[in-house]
Every structure is written in structure tokens, then in C-alpha cells.
Amino acid sequence: MKAVIVLFADAPSWLHLSGEIKDFLSDMAQDMDTGLWLFYHQEKPVMIPEMVDSLSSLKLIPIHPPCPPESFLGLLETVQKTEKADLLIFSGDGLGEELSTRLAFRLNGSSCLKVEHCIKTPDGIEVSRSVYGNHLKACFILKQPPFCISPARRPSRPARVVPLPCPASDLPQIKPIPVKWIKSISMTKNSQDKGWIDADMILVAGQGVKSRENIEILERVARHMGAGLGASRPVVMAAWMDMNRLVGASGSMISPKVCLVLGVSGAGVFNAGIEKAEFIAAVNTDKDAPIFKIADVGIVDDLMAVLKELEKLILSRRPGSLAGQQEAGS
């Protein structure tokens, strides 16, 4: 079976997405001829994420901004005409999922998203994924190639980048296919998106934080600690924090050295997002909160009181600590 990984080098968190694909492929543990089609719009990549032991082929595909899915799809259709891959593995983010579904439709193939496991069968592939809000696991047999799939999100480490391991074949210039129905596209960079996921220490705010004003205090303490800041679902749904800060099965899977969880009850879907942290400390007023089952250290107390003491402690250890303590007290 000829497989290719399809990735966009300028996508946010593309190394995390590559890490997820790497773990997905190592679970498959089947010998496959696997290549990489790497889209880029800024500089031509000289390093690529390491996802398989040896890549059978590498294509670097320039794409001109703005990069709507239509542009990727047109290029993918053209490349697939000559390459004839049987299995196309897309990233697990929104773009990967959209391309996977739409390309399969255009090529009269089959698609499955959020795939947890995939095995070859004599007449196609068998994929399994969670369904019905993670209550059931379903197996699907895809028989109509090309098979376009994207892996389920998982708490993977970012993939290591390595120099190009095999010669990259430059594609003959493919003319971008004009998309007439899009009149204009504008992109606004999210100012909060600062790679918080990669911080060694992450604070996670839950509904127990109670207000947007209290989130500002958390932001300040996180700044003092040099920590990233994530949130549970009620916090982002209340718009106290940006949606890209969501931790859990529906958001980011984090794996910091230290994770301080404040006012989170510990639902399974949330816990899935922090279980790869090396050390978990949780603060909750309810001594029976499920979060304590996965915490290395649990503090039964009001989170604001704990935060205040923590901030005092951090500032008191800094040079010029008196000024710092005054800030914490204000």
C-alpha cells in the first residue's frame, strides 16, 4: 500500500500535529511505503518533522497565500493524478479534517476522521474511532480508495525536526486554480496564541475561578511564573478566555512538567488533556472532586487564597521583593 502524509508547514502547531501522526503511524506498526507531501507558503523547508523511520518520497508543494482549502484541494488532485497514493494521512486539525473529507469526495474515495487505529485488510483498510460522545468505539471498513483519513487528537510530543532525509522532488509548476466564488479573505492573527502549550509549567483555570476579573489575576500569576495558561470548557464557553486555550479531548492535550489545575472538577474529557503532565497539582474546595484522583498533590482550599499565597512567594524570592509584594497585595 502506498501511503502519504499530507502536511502544511505554515500551520500553527504543525510539529504537534506531526507528533500525533508519528504516534498514530507507530501504532499501525505495518510496513508501508510512506511519503510526505509538504505544503509551504513562506520559505521552502530545509528541515522536516520526523514521523517515520524512512520516507520513501518527499514532495515540497508551494502554495500561494491566502491559502483557502480550495487551493490545497486543487493541488492535491493534480499531484494525486500522477502519484496515485492509496492512503492519504492528513493532520488532525480543522484543515486536515476538511481536506481529508473533501478530497475523498472529489476523488470518489473514502474518508474517516479522528481515527484511533488503522490496519490494512485484503480489500482496503479497517479504521476504528470513538463515536457517540466517546461512549462507543466503532470499526469501519473502507473499501473504496484512495483512503483519506486524519488521526484522532492525542497527547503527543512535538515531532523532532530533521534535515531533508531524501531528495525532495520539485513539482512542475502547478498553476493555482482560481477560486471564483471567494471574493476576499482576511486573516487576523490571534494575539493570545503564543505557544502556551509548550511551556514547562501550565496553569489551568476551571469554572471555580468564577469570573473574567479573576482570570486576569491568574494571567498575572502565570506571567510571574513564566507559565502558560489553559482553561476548561465552561471558562472558554463563558468567553473568559480564548477558545484556543481549551484543554481536554475537544481542545489541546498538554504535557508540561508541572500542571497546576485551579477550580476544575476533573471530568474524564478534561482529564484526558492533562494526563500526560509529569506532575499535577490541583486546588478545589470540594475534597471529593474527581480531579484529586489524578493529581499528585491536592489542596482543598479556595483557589484565590492559594493563588495569592503563591504570588507572594514568587515575588518574595525575586530581587526587590518588597515592590513585588505590594503588587500582589493590590
What residues make contact with ligand FAD under the rule CB under 6 A?
A: 133, 206-208, 232-234, 246, 248-251, 263-265, 267, 269-270, 273, 283-286, 289, 302-303
End-to-end CA distance of the chain: 64
Provide the minimum distance between the beta carbon of 122 and ligand FAD in the complex, in angstroms, as a whole number: 35
Separation of alpha carbons 305 and 308, rounded Å: 5
- Neighbouring residues of 115: CB distance < 8 A, sequence distance ≥ 6: 24, 127, 128, 129, 149, 150, 151, 152
Q: Give all strands (DSSP E) within the chain, no chain letters.
A: 2-8, 33-40, 47-49, 58-62, 87-90, 110-115, 117-121, 124-131, 136-142, 147-151, 161-163, 169-170, 201-205, 228-231, 258-262, 279-284, 297-300
Provide the minimum distance between the beta carbon of 251 and ligand FAD in the complex, in angstroms, as a whole number: 5
Residue 6 or 282: the one with the smaller Cβ distance to ligand FAD is 282
Residue 46 or 297: the one with the smaller Cβ distance to ligand FAD is 297
Provide the minimum distance between the beta carbon of 301 and ligand FAD in the complex, in angstroms, as a whole number: 7
| C-alpha grid cell, residue 30 | 505495518
Separation of alpha carbons 3 and 148, rounded Å: 10
**258 in helix, strand or coil?**
strand
Q: What's the gap between Cα 327 and its chain centre?
A: 35
Residue 62 or 290: the one with the smaller Cβ distance to ligand FAD is 290
Provide the minimum distance between the beta carbon of 187 and ligand FAD in the complex, in angstroms, as a whole number: 25
Residue 74 or 248: the one with the smaller Cβ distance to ligand FAD is 248
Length of the chain: 330
Q: Give all strands (DSSP E) within 228-278, no chain letters.
A: 228-231, 258-262
**256 in helix, strand or coil?**
coil
Residue 56 or 244: the one with the smaller Cβ distance to ligand FAD is 244
Residue 19 or 273: the one with the smaller Cβ distance to ligand FAD is 273
Provide the minimum distance between the beta carbon of 133 and ligand FAD in the complex, in angstroms, as a whole number: 4
Q: Which residue carries 503563591 as its cell?
A: 310
Residue 129 or 233: the one with the smaller Cβ distance to ligand FAD is 233
| C-alpha grid cell, residue 124 | 482496503
Provide the minimum distance between the beta carbon of 156 and ligand FAD in the complex, in angstroms, as a whole number: 16
Of the candidates 68, 89, 86, 71, the residue with the CA atom closest to the CA atom of residue 2? 86
Provide the minimum distance between the beta carbon of 326 and ligand FAD in the complex, in angstroms, as a whole number: 24
Residue 56 or 250: the one with the smaller Cβ distance to ligand FAD is 250
Tell me the residue number closest to ligand FAD, measured at CB: 248
Taking CA 113 as the corner, what is the angle to CA 110 and CA 119, rounded to the nearest 5 degrees?
70
Provide the minimum distance between the beta carbon of 155 and ligand FAD in the complex, in angstroms, as a whole number: 12
Provide the minimum distance between the beta carbon of 297 and ligand FAD in the complex, in angstroms, as a whole number: 14
Residue 72 or 240: the one with the smaller Cβ distance to ligand FAD is 240
